[in-house]
Amino acid sequence: MWVLRGSGLYKDSAILTFMKILIAILVLIGAGAYLVPYIKSDHQALEPQRPTEVVQTEMLLEEAQEEEKTAIPSDAIVLVTRDVGRFQVSKDSEHLYVSGFGGEIKEVSSEGVDLQSLSYIEGTSMMAGRQYFKDKARVYYIDYDSTGYKLITVEGADPGSFKAYDYGFLATDANRIYFMGAPFGSVSPSNFKIIGKQGRYEEPATADYFVADGRFYIVPDASKSVAVDVDTFVQIKEYEPFFKDKNRVYYRLDILEDADPKTVRVEPSDDDLGRGVTYVISSSAVYADTEKVTKADPETFSAVGYSYAKDKNFVYRGTDVVPGEDPLSFTLQRAAWLHHNN
């Protein structure tokens, strides 16, 4: 290589070597910039791009396998659908199928079941799963646990007189009451009647209160009940666990001894989350849930909110008088402020 030095041109091998090294470095830098997008952040080996055709083929195969896995047999008869199609029970001539929330069809053991006559019992729970079915000889109940859905026989049930009820898991036949596929103790179904609903903040509400054979029960405990006047027994306010008949007022199975059933009313005093004291007000007494408000004036007493209530004399929180508060000017806004700042 010739370079200008002083007033002449000279061949310089050192300069030539330097230029070769510089060119090699530039080439390496350019190659590195090109390869960086393909190098994993954890410095593993380079990952080449897969051909688009291969990726698309694999996706189509996965979709086909998924459709095959969740497809309902073409000859299946749908017995019942719940929760906008997310739960479904179907049958064909040899099998019983349950489709759960994941959309996958599972075959449920139907040994001993007459599939030809198997039918859904109308009126069963609106919730997914927990439905009653019958064939010409037996009654069945679809339950589920950690292993999935299963069909169980309701022992001793009479398919001819068996009846299920909306919301909840209660059923009766001519001889017994059933809860979630099993006999409800030895309680007689005589004069069976569902009383209201519980679960004010749940959808759907569950019908777990009932009277039968002159007594009031709350599932699932068949060992506890209270004698009531069945003909006049009612839930005082929907979703609230307070009841009355012509003789008494009840909180669940407990009697509110001083409450007057002829004048009683129920007023919840809830907070933002629907929690709080419920006041039971009658001409003879006022209760905060099950505790008597001894200083209350029943005639002017009313719930405010956030567990507070008032009458012409005092402001109350539960059974206690709130000192320093004026009942005439006490409002829901004041109750909310006290709730959030105390």
Residues 114 and 172 in one domain: yes
Residue 310 belongs to what domain range? 256-342
In a domain, 118, yes or no: yes
In a domain, 64, yes or no: no
In a domain, 263, yes or no: yes
Query: Which pLDDT score, from 0 to 100, does residue 196 have?
Result: 74
Q: Which of 183, 204, 224 is the last residue of a domain?
A: 183
Residues 244 and 274 in one domain: no
Q: Which of 210, 238, 255 is the last residue of a domain?
A: 255
Closest CA to 334 of 297, 304, 291, 303: 304
Query: Which pLDDT score, from 0 to 100, does residue 206 have?
Result: 53
In a domain, 220, yes or no: yes
Averaged pLDDT in 10-residue chunks for the chain of 342 residues: 42 58 64 51 52 62 52 78 72 85 74 92 66 93 81 94 81 93 93 76 59 93 95 92 96 96 97 92 97 98 98 98 97 96 88
CB 319 within 8 A of CB 291: yes
In a domain, 114, yes or no: yes
Residues 179 and 94 in one domain: yes
Query: Which pLDDT score, from 0 to 100, does residue 230 have?
Result: 93
**What is the C-alpha to C-alpha distance for residues 251 and 263, in angstroms, rounded to an integer?**
16
In a domain, 41, yes or no: no
Query: Which pLDDT score, from 0 to 100, does residue 58 have?
Result: 62
Q: Which residues contact 115 (CB under 8 A, 6 or more apart)?
A: 91, 92, 93, 94, 95, 96, 135
Query: Which pLDDT score, from 0 to 100, does residue 11 have?
Result: 46
Residues 250 and 273 in one domain: no
Q: Which of 150, 183, 216 is the last residue of a domain?
A: 183
In a domain, 92, yes or no: yes
Residues 209 and 227 in one domain: yes
Residues 152 and 239 in one domain: no
Residues 88 and 171 in one domain: yes
Residues 115 and 145 in one domain: yes
Return the biggest CA–CA distance within the chain.
129
Residues 82 and 173 in one domain: yes
| One-letter identity of residue 51 | P
In a domain, 290, yes or no: yes
**What is the C-alpha to C-alpha distance for residues 119 and 111, in angstroms, rounded to an integer?**
16
Residues 205 and 271 in one domain: no
Residues 107 and 93 in one domain: yes
Query: How many domains in the chain?
Result: 4
Residues 265 and 248 in one domain: no
